[in-house]
Amino acid sequence: MRRAWTRYSTATAYAVTEHLRNRLALVLVVFFVPLWITLVTVVIADTDVRFFLRASDQTVTVHGNHVSKVSGAINAVTLIVGFMMFVVTYRSAGFDQRLAMAGYPRASLLAAKLTALLAAAAVVCAYAVAVICLHWVPEQPVLLWASLLGAALAFGGIGVMLGALLRGELEGMFVIIMLSIIDMGLQNPVANPASDSDVVRYLPSYGTMQTGVAAGFLDTTPVLHLLLGPLWFLGAVVVAGTAFRLRTRDRRRVLVRLPGRRRRAEGPGADERGAGTGTSTPAAGARPSPFSAGEPGGSPLFRRPRRRKCPDTGGPHGTGEAAPTRQEPG
């Protein structure tokens, strides 16, 4: 148990260090989140819009600027956390593969990445809620943080999945950006008056948008919609874990020679034909092996050299006599 904990803590420390070394992600967290929410506050008109809240099965009238803050925070959080997890997973894929091939547990590596994802998502979401509270105080700030955390976990899991599946860094970043834009563009009632369509229920941040609106304007807690983000996270993690296991598996094959295979190939009676000679005689009609030394049809590279006799005497040294035996002195 202690050994497993040591492996997990070591891998988690390296995963957190990788996040801290990603300076672009840190800059986005510090500057992009307040900049985006501030631009929404300044630009979006202060008009009321209607939003269909499926969590309570009712249509509510919300402030357009405030609901845009919620959708803007979701957009910023999903982009940053998804980008962070994809970059870390993609760039450490080779190192993780070497660790797994060397015997490091895959479960420890994957659990370390998920722990780093949870920590990064919690910090980024808390920062986003704090920035929102500077412009507008929602009805339930803690529930708003929990809803943002669900969206961050969903896109973080998608980032891990894309990092384990895709071969290029540009493709993964493009998929994350486009998915976040489509997700919030269809659910924002200010940008899309038909945001109550049934299609939005299949988007990753659908539960977060429903819970965020309830946290900002109502005193209810839609628990089922709050769990939709973690469900997306679990599905993406399962796919990522499967892809990681397939990519880091040992493809080397150990060739094992079965003892009875050669006997069956040579045919019955092979032991009797080769008894007393130390070799087995091929069966009738069988093609001789090219690697059989000294056999007819064998390869000349492996053929046993023959001793030539002198034609006049027949002796091995041309003298007609056997080779003299070397005597040791003394």
Q: Are 285 and 275 in contact (CB under 8 A)?
A: no
pTM of the model: 0.71
CA–CA gap between residue 118 and residue 50 (Å, rounded): 33
Q: What is the per-residue pLDDT for 55? A: 78
**DSSP-assigned letter for residue 37:** H
Every domain of the chain and the residues it spans: 2-247
> pLDDT tens per residue, the chain (330 residues)?
788 888 888 888 888 888 888 888 888 888 999 999 999 988 888 888 888 888 788 888 888 889 999 999 999 999 999 988 898 888 888 888 888 888 888 888 888 888 988 998 999 999 999 999 999 999 899 999 999 999 999 999 999 899 888 888 888 888 998 998 898 888 888 888 877 788 888 999 999 999 999 999 988 888 899 999 999 999 998 998 888 788 776 655 544 444 555 444 445 554 444 444 544 555 555 555 444 444 444 444 445 555 555 555 555 554 555 555 555 554
CA distances for 60 relative to 45, 211, 217, 262, 284, angstroms: 18, 13, 9, 81, 92
